[in-house]
Amino acid sequence: MSTHNEIHGPSTGPYLIGFILAVFFTLGSFLPVMYGMMESWAISTKVIYLIGMALIQIAVQIVFFLHLNSGPDAKWNLISLWFTVICVFIIIGGTWWAISHLNYNMMGGSGRIIESEVSRTIPEEQSSSAKAPTE
């Protein structure tokens, strides 16, 4: 008669590691911006640093919380992830394209506001009669 105290299922270890890493990379992005530690950096260095931290954060989320690193369903999960990413980029790209072309579509071929001759030239008689008399 033996008693087995085996627990099958996910353990809290990977979730705890993922949480600690997520907090670390979040604070690694937030604190330098909040407290002005990056003010002396060039703008390109700031952008590269923050995008790098965001990409590492995405990798931590994918590995530790979405579990896309192991298992028999990893292939289909990865295909689903890439399909989702492609759809998001298509939506963002289409929105960006539509918004950037609104000015052209609304203002005509030149992209400038078309002024009429009437609003551009005001005769001298009209402008002088609009002034209040000084008596």
**Count of the separate structural domains present in the chain:** 2
Mean pLDDT of 126-130: 56
- Confirm whether 54 is domain-assigned: yes
Tokens 């989702």 correspond to 84
Q: Which domain holds residue 43?
A: 13-67
- Confirm whether 48 is domain-assigned: yes
Residue 13 has pLDDT above 60, yes or no: yes
| Better pLDDT: 24 or 76 | 24
- Decide if 49 contacts 38 (C-beta within 8 A): yes
pTM confidence score: 0.58
- Confirm whether 80 is domain-assigned: yes
Percent above pLDDT 90 for the chain: 47
Residue 112 has pLDDT above 90, yes or no: no
- Confirm whether 91 is domain-assigned: yes
Determine the residue type at 71: G
Residue 56 sits in the same domain as residue 91: no
Residue 24 sits in the same domain as residue 40: yes
CB proximity list for 49: less than 8 A, separation 6 or greater = 32, 38, 41
Residue 43 sits in the same domain as residue 56: yes
> In this predicted structure, what is the pLDDT of residue 71?
75
